[in-house]
Amino acid sequence: MAHINMEGEQIFALNGVNQIVRGGGKVTHILKVEVARHVSAETADRLQTAIYNHIANVAIKIIGNGKPITVTWTPAEAAYPTYYHCYSATFNDGGVLHHTQALLRQLVDRLDPDFNNGFTNGKLGVALLVSKPLGREVYIDSGGFILLGAKRKREEANT
């Protein structure tokens, strides 16, 4: 089965993460920065850029449950400061969740004055969504069948 090229901004923005996983690289978590829909495109771009400047490739240390938690979020694609990924062998999902909650509070506190206190007065909103990638690619054909391992290789040989 040949790789399917997918279109769309979301898929393109995740290509960097997909390439790392395909190449055997390690990615434990994916972060998506989501700006409230009612915000103008210009303000959303400024906010995404400001967040990028604060978190991209920066080892961010936050104290959680009395222990330091350091996570470095790497942009998935430089042109799209919406998606980031990290590899955290030291911390479980709970540690990354706690870190992300504290990071969101820090970002809002730091950026609020730069955006006319838009977070404080409810005119701006941002969310950090954390997910986990699959450990390997899974192909689902048009019939809904999952193709893995030897069966997938047989399928590729038949195409």
**pLDDT, tens digit, 9 for 90 and up, residues 53-72:** 999 999 999 887 788 888 99
Dist. CA 63–CA 27, nearest whole Å: 22
Q: Is the pLDDT of residue 42 over 70?
A: yes
- Please check whether residue 3 is in contact with residue 62, taking contact to mean a CB–CB distance below 8 angstroms: no
Residue range 64-83: mean pLDDT, rounded: 82
CB 136 within 8 A of CB 26: no
Work out the average pLDDT over 12-30: 72
Compare 123 and 154 and report the one with higher pLDDT.
123
- As a whole number of angstroms, the distance between CA 23 and CA 136 comes to 10
Mean pLDDT of 8-35: 72
Chain mean pLDDT for the chain = 77
pLDDT > 70? residue 5: no
Gap between the Cα atoms of 62 and 115, Å rounded? 24
pLDDT at 138: 56
Question: Is residue 125 scored above 60 in pLDDT?
Answer: yes
Give just the sign of the alpha carbon dihedral 106, 99, 125, 13. positive
Rounded Cα distance, 139 and 158, in Å: 15
